[in-house]
A and B are shown apart, each in its own frame.
Chain A
Amino acid sequence: MDDCLSAVFKIDDELLCVKGHISTAMEPCSSAELERYENSPLLLGRYMDSLERSEKFNFNLGPVSGGLLESIKMNVYTDGERIVEIRPDPTFKDRKIKMGEAPLDNALLKVERINGAFAAGFGTAFCLAVEEIQETPASFETQLVRILISEIERISNHIHVIAKLSEGASQNVATSHLFALEERVRRIVSEYFGHRFFFGVNGIGGLERNIDVKGLQDKVDGIVDEFSSIWDALTSSRLFLDRLQTTCFSRKEWMVGPAARAANFRYDSRLSGYLPYEDVGFEVASDDTGDVLSRALVRQKEIEISRNMVDEICGKVRRVEKCRNIDPDKRGWSVKRVETPSGDMILFLGISNGHITDFGIRSASTANILAFAQSAISGILTDFTFAWESFGFWISEMGEYI
């Protein structure tokens, strides 16, 4: 699937696309390709069961519902037991964030708040794009710190997703323990990086804060060790495994992130080397079944791999000083792909005179939302929460930018 259409951006009335799972090359998008893309039944969200049912009815969920952390409307078609079709509408909380003509410093604040849970990943992508345009790469230590914050963000997010799966399976002790662990990660992040969600850590050309990682390695190791013991207990529970195993299969080549890797598609933007991942022991985690359990297993493996990378970086870096390196006169554009905890995010950025001229993002949630809708078909209504949570969606990153 190296020629699959991964993202389409409209720039000066011209359509440009990014293809495949690693490339950041932009090329013209032919009208035939776009037509195929736009008319794809997958993208239109038409996932009819192979057996057309005459007695199906629409069960509306949202946009405001107690079971969902964010606002989204789900049109769930069911015959009373099985899910026949799902049409998600993520547009309700679309903020239509104004990025056009924003000065770069101000834009970074906004980019970090596109998805607060992935602020390290989004901020890193933006800073890398600006630095490429300005031809002023950040120092090696800064790049290692960017890996460090991205991987701690991944640990925090994966613990959250597994906690939500555990909550769905009514494993209340494990759920409470995991949510407490997530809180402890946030406190560690706050202690070492100055903000519970990494806001304001990344800077263009460097870092906005002095970072001292003394003692961080032991604290992250403690979190991951504790997570491992909870995971062992969870996976020894037949009740937990029964709810996740063979639930909501998804095996689409255009998926990204842990969902793709759970179906043995070993796509991972970190392989492209946008940061020096090869120097810190990165490896791709995968599984081969493609069900909810596989997606949880991939996340569990990634927590271990991320821990190893954090250990490696803490052994190489002790203290990184705040630094800045901006040349406001440079102009140009750049495409960056960054592996956020939910998967590959593609950012397109054009700048001129220190201001943004073009901006676009294809987030992991945008790429995977229809795989979720497809995976839930033929499942029963109580499978819904497992299908939804196992992808790790964030509606906030599915908006438009003006």
Chain B
Amino acid sequence: MDIHTSIVKRPERTFKESFTVFMIDTGSCGACNLEVKSLTNPIYDMHRLGIFFTSTPRHADALLVVGVLSEKMKDPLRRAYEAMPDPKLVIAVGACALSGGILGSGIREMLDADVLVPGCPPSPFTILDALIRSRDGQK
């Protein structure tokens, strides 16, 4: 039985041992932010899996995007992506980042996401599962 709800189009095995993620909010309601933030609490504890948040895209392996694409966040999104070293992944988290949901347009017009995590918001389990699969080669 396939219990995965996210789609990993392009996993990157380079990040198997250590995976550093930079989150950018391009126009969310805050729910996705809270669910992503939950990954650091002791219940999910993503650090035990070698997954960490970074506060700068310069140190990031993956750009995790939440929210619809608001006009004024287009430039910060582009600059964050360009600042990241190669290889890099783009992870779209939540219905808004994927398609715009009912509030706007998604990030597709600017970036092609490698990992799609649906949900409004996706649960921390779903996000964590997507992060694990995006670095270990499981599609």
Q: Which residues of A line the B interface, CB within 8 A?
A: 63-67, 69-71, 91-97, 106, 109-110, 113-117, 119, 160, 176-177, 179-180, 182-184, 186, 196-197, 199, 394-396
Q: Which residue of B lies closest to A199 (CB)?
A: B120
Say whether B72 contacts A95, CB under 8 Å: no
A197-B121 contact in complex given A70-B30, A93-B70, C-beta closer than 8 Å: yes
Residues of chain A within 8 A of B7, CB atoms compared: none
| Contact partner, A69, options B30, B104, B120, B124, Cβ 8 Å | B30
Query: Which residues of chain B in 43-91 are interfacial with respect to chain A, using CB atoms and an 8 Å cutoff?
Result: 43-44, 53-56, 67-68, 70-73, 76, 80
Residues of chain A within 8 A of B111, CB atoms compared: none
Query: Which residues of chain B in 13-33 are interfacial with respect to chain A, using CB atoms and an 8 Å cutoff?
Result: 22, 24-33
Chain A min CB distance to B48 (Å): 13
Query: Which residues of chain B in 85-135 are interfacial with respect to chain A, using CB atoms and an 8 Å cutoff?
Result: 101-104, 120-121, 123-124
Q: Which residue of B lies closest to A178 (CB)?
A: B41
Say whether A179 contacts B123, CB under 8 Å: no
Residues of chain A within 8 A of B123, CB atoms compared: 196
Chain B min CB distance to A295 (Å): 20
A67-B43 contact in complex given A115-B30, A196-B123, A396-B28, C-beta closer than 8 Å: no
Residues of chain B within 8 A of A199, CB atoms compared: 31, 120
Chain A min CB distance to B125 (Å): 11
Say whether B103 contacts A95, CB under 8 Å: yes
CA distance A53 to B96 in the complex (A): 44
Chain B min CB distance to A18 (Å): 24
Say whether A92 contacts B76, CB under 8 Å: yes
Chain A min CB distance to B36 (Å): 9
| Contact partner, A95, options B27, B33, B34, B43, Cβ 8 Å | B27
Beyond A64-B25, A116-B29, A116-B30, 17 additional pairs, beta carbon < 8 A:
A63-B76, A65-B55, A66-B55, A69-B30, A69-B37, A70-B25, A95-B68, A97-B103, A113-B103, A116-B32, A116-B34, A176-B41, A182-B38, A183-B43, A183-B124, A199-B120, A396-B29
| Contact partner, B76, options A64, A91, A180, Cβ 8 Å | A64
Residues of chain A within 8 A of B70, CB atoms compared: 92-96
Q: Determine which residue in A67, A70, A109, A184 has the highest number of CB atoms from chain B within 10 A of its CB, and name it.
A: A70
Q: Determine which residue in A71, A119, A177, A394 has the highest number of CB atoms from chain B within 10 A of its CB, and name it.
A: A71
Chain B min CB distance to A50 (Å): 33
Say whether B30 contacts A396, CB under 8 Å: yes
Say whether B120 contacts A179, CB under 8 Å: no
A110-B55 contact in complex given A179-B41, A197-B31, A396-B30, C-beta closer than 8 Å: no
Residues of chain A within 8 A of B67, CB atoms compared: 93, 95
Say whether B31 contacts A64, CB under 8 Å: no
Say whether B76 contacts A71, CB under 8 Å: yes
Say whether A176 contacts B54, CB under 8 Å: no
Say whether A64 contacts B34, CB under 8 Å: no
Say whether A66 contacts B56, CB under 8 Å: yes
CA distance A97 to B124 in the complex (A): 26
Say whether A117 contacts B54, CB under 8 Å: no
Residues of chain B within 8 A of A184, CB atoms compared: 43
Residues of chain A within 8 A of B34, CB atoms compared: 69, 116-117, 160
Say whether A95 contacts B25, CB under 8 Å: no
Residues of chain A within 8 A of B25, CB atoms compared: 64, 69-71, 93
Residues of chain B within 8 A of A64, CB atoms compared: 24-25, 76, 80
Say whether A95 contacts B104, CB under 8 Å: yes
Q: Determine which residue in B31, B55, B67, B71 has the highest number of CB atoms from chain A within 10 A of its CB, and name it.
A: B31
Say whether B76 contacts A70, CB under 8 Å: no
CA distance A13 to B55 in the complex (A): 44
CA distance A260 to B68 in the complex (A): 32
Say whether B31 contacts A94, CB under 8 Å: no
Q: Which residue of A lies closest to B35 (CB)?
A: A196
Chain A min CB distance to B96 (Å): 8
CA distance A176 to B28 in the complex (A): 25
Between A and B, 17 residue pairs with Cβ closer than 8 Å are: A70-B30, A93-B70, A94-B27, A96-B70, A96-B71, A113-B101, A116-B28, A117-B30, A117-B31, A117-B34, A160-B34, A180-B41, A180-B42, A183-B41, A183-B43, A186-B38, A396-B30
